[in-house]
């Protein structure tokens, strides 16, 4: 998928174009349509992470980081360093209570555990609250879980590397 340019159009429903995209849960080519209504049912201020039209259950929190590399263009005679903006990139993490019976959680875990992502791009939507989301295509890069003492719930976290732009949908 290297070099694929994505576009988007519409409001409040956005259609991401430029695929084909592979949907992580189905491993099939699909046109991905995002809508603010598809992440309903999130917790903690409606925080949710969705893969196309399916929310991952038990999401506790997520983190999305976007950055622009800086390129040093300082030359002899300059008294201060100067920089130009380079390429942008983004990544994210989602934490949840482990629920392997949730179809979306199981698909994410299985994709990493079996080594089957192979360039598969998932359409992700990170919801802050109704009408406030970020979305883009990403590759699942890892998951981690641990075993707490006693009868505590088991946490799991998923890491994603963005592929292309991450875009806001703020209404």
Looking at the domain assignment, is residue 46 inside a domain?
yes
5 domain-assigned: no
* Cβ neighbours of 38 (radius 10 Å): 19
- Share in percent of the chain as helix, strand, coil (round to 5): 10, 55, 35
pLDDT of residue 120: 63
| pLDDT, mean of residues 154-163 | 88
Which tokens is 46 given? 């409606």
Residues of the chain with pLDDT > 70, as a percent, come to 64
Is residue 31 situated within a structural domain?
yes
Handedness of CA 124, 126, 132, 134 (dihedral sign): negative
- Closest to 125 (Cα-Cα) out of 30, 57, 35: 35
pLDDT band at 48 (very low <50, low <70, confident <90, very high): low
The residues, ordered by sequence, that sit 6+ positions from 87 with a Cβ below 8 Å of its Cβ are 68, 69
Top pLDDT among 159 and 27 is at 159
**Secondary structure class of 39 (helix, strand, coil):** helix
Q: What is the pLDDT of residue 36?
A: 36
Look up the CATH number of the domain holding residue 140.
Answer: 2.40.30
* 42 domain-assigned: yes
Residues 32-48, mean pLDDT to the nearest whole number = 38
Judge whether 10 lies within some domain.
Answer: no
Measured distance CA(1)–CA(80) in Å, rounded = 39
Top pLDDT among 45 and 150 is at: 150
Structural domain including 65 reads 18-144+153-170
Residue 11 lies in a domain: no
- Domain assignment of residue 53, yes or no: yes
* Contact present, 97 and 155 (Cβ < 8 Å): yes
Q: Is residue 4 part of a domain?
A: no
Q: Which candidate, 42, 22, 46, 44, places its Cα nearest to that of 32?
A: 22
Q: Highest mean pLDDT: which of 28-37, 74-83, 137-146, 147-156?
A: 74-83
- Our count of domains for the chain comes to 1
The whole-angstrom separation of Cα 135 and Cα 132 is 10
């Amino acid at each position: 998928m290297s070099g694929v340019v994505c576009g988007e159009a519409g409001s409040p429903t956005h259609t991401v174009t430029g695929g084909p995209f592979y949907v992580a849960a189905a491993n099939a080519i699909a046109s991905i349509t995002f809508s603010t209504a598809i992440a309903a049912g999130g917790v903690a201020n409606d925080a949710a992470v969705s893969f196309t039209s399916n929310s991952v259950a038990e999401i506790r929190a997520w983190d999305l980081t976007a950055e622009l590399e800086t390129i040093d263009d300082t030359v002899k005679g300059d008294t201060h360093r100067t920089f130009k903006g380079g390429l942008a990139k983004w990544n994210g993490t989602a934490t949840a209570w482990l629920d392997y019976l949730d179809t979306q959680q199981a698909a994410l875990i299985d994709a990493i555990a079996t080594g089957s992502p192979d360039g598969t791009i998932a359409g992700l939507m990170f919801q802050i609250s109704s009408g406030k989301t970020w979305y883009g295509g990403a590759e699942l890069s890892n998951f981690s879980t641990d075993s707490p003492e006693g009868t505590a719930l088991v946490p799991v976290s998923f890491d994603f590397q963005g592929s292309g732009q991450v875009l806001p949908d703020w209404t």
